[in-house]
Structure 1
Amino acid sequence: MWRGSSPVRARAAAVAALLLCATAALPTGPALAAGTPGPYAFAPDARPVSGGASTAGAGALTPGATYKSSLPGAGETHYRIDLDDTSDAYVSVTAVPAAGSTIHAGDGIKVSVRDAQGHSCSQDTETFGVVRSPRPIAAWGMREISADRPRCETAGAYDVIVERVTTAESVPDTWDLELFAATEPPLKQAGGTSAPETWDSATPDPLTGDGERRKGGAGFASAVPVGEGAWTSDIRPGRTLFYKVPLDWGRQLHATAGLGAADGGDGYAVGALNLALYNPVRGFVDDASANYDGSEKAAELDPLPPVAYENRYAGPDRLGAMRFAGSYYLVVHLSAAVAERYGDGPFELTLRVQEGGAAQAGPGYAGESEPGDVFQLSEGDREAAAADEAGNGAGGGGIENAALTALAVGGIGAGTLVLVVLGVWAVVARRRVGAL
């Protein structure tokens, strides 16, 4: 008898049943080549929406929902969002260039929000910078109820404009987009209107010791939860890994991404490793990059303030983005240029996460956000960040996660997918038997 194997066999049987039942729902187009996953995993529930060349043809966005769209190489693309006159609103736009695209340092996207009269409410531009490698990047727009912007306080339709930032050498190809819209209710009682003047900006002593295996996700929706500690994974050139860290009000985040030494090769890759931080509404906070010469290198974020509602009064910068409690996203990218000098890898990635500060009570919202859980944390969030991630330790839950991810990605033949999952289950079961 296989001691302890019944739960694994039961889970595998359930996954196989799920896959077989879902066969009819899988696409029948050509399968993705093995080892060549797409550059980004869109949210499984993302709704298709088409942007317009002007406000007349703008695609409609609803707070609390995620959308998939596209962005041409030139011109403005417009979306419409209807807002009340009390809530702050945020729209994050993730741009996904195709793998193999030519990227220049000045390329990127710009997101603007305007009211019905054409007055500007916000504007944000994000570029690829020194990491000239095709990867997902995100910019955000906002409509804040603020004395500084009385023109953007009325209820009604608002215009979200997305456009490419390009250089003279840029190729005007089309990029995929993922849009995420959220609203934040007002406070029950008005609080301070200025950002904290002092906070601990000292860099903590680095974590030591070996990391625990925790494979990252391929998009915001599939980001893998991590808490304080060291987390290791394999990463290949051109790939991007997504993690999420639950942060309460008052907590402070410090993060470093380290790349292991190469087995061979030589040369110097500029901006090889990039670590970016996004807030719970996928608004860009900050990033750091490291060059690579084949030896161990690390990209470390500069010190950030504790999460506080009042940080928003610091302005639309890295301090102002630390304005919510919720899940913050750590996004790690290894430049495709590394493969030219050091091969396809994989390379060992170590993500070190530290948290400081004491958790505090929230500011007290007078209503619900959309989506409802974006600015709060559950015990499940905290437990998931601390627990051994399924598929990276001894647990058997990685089979279920792998199956669900495959179903969401699509483009893989249903019969092949069933055989792959059952094969993985067989390998896991044999390993468990050998260990007993």
Structure 2
Amino acid sequence: MGRWCTARRRAGTRRARPSVTARPALTGPVALGAAVLVLATSAALPGATARAADGLDSAGASTGYDFAGDAVRIAGARATAGAEPLEAGATYRSTLPRSGVLYYRLELDDASDAYVSVTAVPGADGELTAVDGIRVSMQDADGGSCSVQSATFGAARSPRPVTAWGLREIDSGANRCQDPGTYYVGVERTRPQDSPPDDWDLELTAATEPRPRQTDATEAPRTWDSASPEPLPGEPEHRPGGNGFAHATPVGQGVWRDDIRPGETLYYKVPVDWGRQVYATAELAGSADASGYATGALRLALHNPVRGEVDDAAKGYTGRPTTVGLAPLPPVAYPNRYATAGQVGALRFAGEYYVVIHLAAQVADDFGQGPFGVTLRLRLGGAARTGPDYAGESRPKGLFEISAQDRAAATPASADLAMKAVAVGGIGTGSLLLLGLAVWTATARRRA
């Protein structure tokens, strides 16, 4: 359990439409099909529409981060005695003051690993230090420590969402945190004396992972293909990034492009199966004014399905084209959890991984407000394998699985729209789309 106790630093005018004549209005089933198509299309573009209410902080100001629309408001307690409960599978919103520890409560069994992620969103105007950030701890009812992890803003000192996670693992060789019962999650700032005075908004998620029915592996793999492949070639396809974990844009292997402004953070999610490796690089376009320097300006990070950070990399910016890439990572495998290295241990399950790109706010000082073009090159190595035979369901259900919908959502934009609608909008919207299209097609054929 001690391997989790080391803190890691890595946080216009619309043109008028031309008139169209001699075109009949859509009626009856045809109108229904068209309406369904529009509905499903809007549901299939997760990065295209922002929820204004989700991106407001406790004072009503914009945070630049889109919180989950279904997040439950919850208040952290100053002591464990008054801690409110977190339910596995749910998402919550809270606020973190400058000083003190806030506590939340979990009820756990003795057969599941449990994970709580906490994303803190500071205000855009506060002055931050490199070691400022959040610390997340988990403890049992007797105060025994299960895990401690920190996430800081790093050398760029740029206000951005920072995420740390706490966990309770079932381990036959451990002495603490193995019993069923009440557990507590503590959240605090890492450097309160130097932190901005305003409250930070929090987004919390809780999840549980059942144990396998049988497993023979009790050690992490010691070797893997650690060679860095050539960055994926090809022309980038425009794919706007989301503004939060809950609104991350689905992508797969490919080359993706978007625009980013100083201080902005883009979120993408990619389905990663058991046995697959993730290789990612981010390229920032040059500036017309190539004079000046911004420390740690371009940051690229990978987070696992429970939002725990796997690894990150950052690079300074001089106004010239800049590329930053993640170090080669091992394939996703259940035994990775037994590793002493945090990067390997975080690659412990399959599911939707998150690729996060941040451009430091300080870039604007020397190079203006942009926007700047950013290209994400994403490659999946290895071969998909069969995962563990879990003895139960995860909460939320399917968190550590790759479904056909996940794969369809990550296909290029030129892929079939109906498949994308099914993937992003869910079975209900997708089924409605297919039904509407079928009715539309049948009606058109009869009239022909």
Answer yes or no: is 1:127 the counterpart of 2:167: no
What secondary structure sits across from 1:312 in the alignment? helix
Query: How many angstroms does 1:14 deviate by?
Result: 5.1
Query: How many angstroms does 1:380 deviate by?
Result: 1.1
Answer yes or no: is 1:227 the counterpart of 2:256: no
- The change in CA–CA distance for 1:83 and 1:301 in structure 2 (over 3 A counts) is same
What secondary structure sits across from 2:337 in the alignment? helix
Structure 2 equivalent of residue 90 of structure 1: 115
* TM-score after normalising by structure 1: 0.82
- The change in CA–CA distance for 1:344 and 1:9 in structure 2 (over 3 A counts) is farther
Query: How many angstroms does 1:383 deviate by?
Result: 1.3
Give the partner amino acid of 2:249. V
Give the partner amino acid of 1:329. Y
Structure 2 equivalent of residue 324 of structure 1: 349
Distance 2:87 2:246 in 1: 17
- The change in CA–CA distance for 1:17 and 1:229 in structure 2 (over 3 A counts) is closer
Note the residue ranges of structure 2 that are not aligned, 5 or more in a row.
1-21, 44-50, 424-448
**Given that residues 70 and 175 in structure 1 are in contact (C-alpha distance below 8 angstroms), is that contact kept between their aligned partners in structure 2?**
yes
**Given that residues 106 and 167 in structure 1 are in contact (C-alpha distance below 8 angstroms), is that contact kept between their aligned partners in structure 2?**
no
Structure 1 equivalent of residue 183 of structure 2: 158
Distance 1:395 1:103 in 2: 44
Query: How many angstroms does 1:340 deviate by?
Result: 1.1
**Given that residues 274 and 289 in structure 1 are in contact (C-alpha distance below 8 angstroms), is that contact kept between their aligned partners in structure 2?**
yes
CA offsets, 1:392-421, max 9 Å, x none? x9979999x9xxxxxxxxxxxxxxxxxxxx
**Given that residues 104 and 167 in structure 1 are in contact (C-alpha distance below 8 angstroms), is that contact kept between their aligned partners in structure 2?**
no
**Given that residues 234 and 346 in structure 1 are in contact (C-alpha distance below 8 angstroms), is that contact kept between their aligned partners in structure 2?**
yes
- Out of 312, 316, 323, the residue aligned to residue 291 of structure 1 is 316
Answer yes or no: is 1:333 the counterpart of 2:361: no
Structure 1 equivalent of residue 15 of structure 2: none
Structure 2 equivalent of residue 280 of structure 1: 305
Structure 2 equivalent of residue 373 of structure 1: 398
Answer yes or no: is 1:80 the counterpart of 2:105: yes
Structure 2 equivalent of residue 413 of structure 1: none
Give the partner amino acid of 1:214. R
Structure 1 equivalent of residue 209 of structure 2: 184
Distance 1:348 1:295 in 2: 12
Alignment of 1:9-408 (within 5 A): 10=35, 38-166=63-191, 168-264=193-289, 266-315=291-340, 317-388=342-413
**Given that residues 39 and 98 in structure 1 are in contact (C-alpha distance below 8 angstroms), is that contact kept between their aligned partners in structure 2?**
no
Give the partner amino acid of 2:308. G
**Given that residues 254 and 379 in structure 2 are in contact (C-alpha distance below 8 angstroms), is that contact kept between their aligned partners in structure 1?**
yes
Structure 2 equivalent of residue 409 of structure 1: none
Query: How many angstroms does 1:208 deviate by?
Result: 2.0
- The alignment of Structure 1 onto Structure 2 pairs a total of residues equal to 387
- The change in CA–CA distance for 1:12 and 1:37 in structure 2 (over 3 A counts) is farther
- The change in CA–CA distance for 1:110 and 1:75 in structure 2 (over 3 A counts) is same
Distance 1:329 1:2 in 2: 45
Give the partner amino acid of 1:203. S
**Given that residues 121 and 149 in structure 1 are in contact (C-alpha distance below 8 angstroms), is that contact kept between their aligned partners in structure 2?**
no
Query: How many angstroms does 1:131 deviate by?
Result: 2.4
Give the partner amino acid of 1:277. L
Query: How many angstroms does 1:53 deviate by?
Result: 0.3
Instruction: Name whichever of 163-172 and 252-261 sits farther off.
Output: 163-172
CA offsets, 1:140-189, max 9 Å, x none? 00000013423211111101001100165332321100000000001111
- The change in CA–CA distance for 1:126 and 1:342 in structure 2 (over 3 A counts) is same
Query: How many angstroms does 1:211 deviate by?
Result: 0.5
Distance 1:289 1:278 in 2: 15
Give the partner amino acid of 1:330. V
Distance 2:77 2:123 in 1: 22
Instruction: Name whichever of 164-173 and 52-61 sits farther off.
Output: 164-173
* TM-score after normalising by structure 2: 0.80
Give the partner amino acid of 2:398. D
Query: How many angstroms does 1:209 deviate by?
Result: 2.5
Query: How many angstroms does 1:315 deviate by?
Result: 3.1
**Given that residues 110 and 139 in structure 1 are in contact (C-alpha distance below 8 angstroms), is that contact kept between their aligned partners in structure 2?**
yes
- The change in CA–CA distance for 1:139 and 1:388 in structure 2 (over 3 A counts) is same
What secondary structure sits across from 2:410 in the alignment? helix
CA offsets, 1:74-124, max 9 Å, x none? 111000000011100000000100122211100011111100111011111
Give the partner amino acid of 2:123. A
Distance 2:215 2:41 in 1: 53
What secondary structure sits across from 1:336 in the alignment? coil
Query: How many angstroms does 1:264 deviate by?
Result: 2.7
Give the partner amino acid of 1:362. G
Query: How many angstroms does 1:200 deviate by?
Result: 0.5
Distance 1:287 1:196 in 2: 21
Q: RMSD of aligned C-alpha atoms?
A: 3.1
Note the residue ranges of structure 1 that are not aligned, 5 or more in a row.
19-25, 402-436
Give the partner amino acid of 1:378. S
Distance 2:208 2:107 in 1: 11
